[in-house]
Amino acid sequence: MNLVRYGRHLGHRPREVVLLRGLPCIWSRCSFCDYIADNTTDVAEIRRVADEALARVTGEFGRLQVINSGSIQELPPPVLEQIRTLLVERGIEEFYTESYWAYRNSFDETRRFFRVSNRRGRTVRTHLFLGVETFDDGLRNGILNKSMHWSGPDDVAAATDSICLMIGFRGQTRDIVRRDIDLLLSKFRYGIINLFSPNTKSAGLIDEEIKAWFVEEFAWLRDVEKVDVLLNNTDFGVG
């Protein structure tokens, strides 16, 4: 895939962003995701992409976000080591990355791996974003096929301080969206809200009416420091 691999996010919490290639996603069956086409079993290619993208990181903001079309745990160990070394050498203080619910028992281990002291003598803080998409169990698992089950939002909040929501898919109602936003704001430190962008799997899934309503109804979220609203899936400068 011919994708942009390095970007600079100048919105809330400015940061550098890299899009790496990873090993196949552990689940790979979400109904809406075609980014998994960027996954590969070719470790040499994964390392080549990582070398090129990570070489562009300067540390100018003290924040770095790594995306790899899956979970951070699906990067080969040498690439994980490369990222950890980069956090130290570039003086990164906050590290943002993503993971899937199936890895939740290793979230703390992942945070410890990246909890290094950077060249400024400050400990790196790691935020693991979980793609919740919605807290409505029927939609999350029935429509989006996420295969993510819990007893309630508090289970998610106990595992991570950062989540992603998705707006604009079939079955969403205004009340469901309002509840999801309320839970994000009340229970989590950070959130990314993605409007569902057309892709190779979006036919019959996108609800343009809900998207248009959200953009108008929740325009104020653009000023909320703890939330990034992405109107397009390339708004972080990669993809």
| CATH number of residue 76's parent domain | 3.20.20.70
pLDDT at 2: 84
Where in the sequence is the domain holding 106, given as residue range(s)? 6-230
Rounded to an integer, what distance in angstroms lies between the CA atom of residue 66 and that of residue 230?
Answer: 16
Please tell me what DSSP assigns to residue 101: G
Residue 182 resides in a domain: yes
Q: ∠ CA(14), CA(15), CA(17), 5° rounding? A: 140
pLDDT at 70: 93
Rounded to an integer, what distance in angstroms lies between the CA atom of residue 128 and that of residue 98?
Answer: 5
Residue 239 resides in a domain: no
Residue 235 resides in a domain: no
pLDDT at 202: 87
pLDDT in tens, 203-217: 999 999 999 999 999
Residue 1 resides in a domain: no
The segments of the chain whose pLDDT lies below 50 read none
Sign, Cα dihedral of 94, 9, 144, 2: negative
Structural tokens at position 67? 């995306």
Burial class (CB in 10 A: 0-12, 13-18, 19+), 51: exposed
**Taking the complete model, does pTM exceed 0.75, yes or no?**
yes
Residue 100 resides in a domain: yes
Amino acid at 84: R
Residue 185 resides in a domain: yes
Nearest Cα to 237, choosing from 26, 66, 9, 1? 9
pLDDT at 114: 98
Rounded to an integer, what distance in angstroms lies between the CA atom of residue 76 and that of residue 79?
Answer: 5
> How many domains does the structure of the chain reveal?
1
pLDDT in tens, 75-101: 999 999 999 999 999 999 999 999 999
pLDDT at 164: 98
Residue 79 resides in a domain: yes
Cβ neighbour number for residue 225 with a 10 Å cutoff: 9
Residue 147 resides in a domain: yes
pLDDT at 110: 98
pLDDT at 1: 63
Burial class (CB in 10 A: 0-12, 13-18, 19+), 91: middle
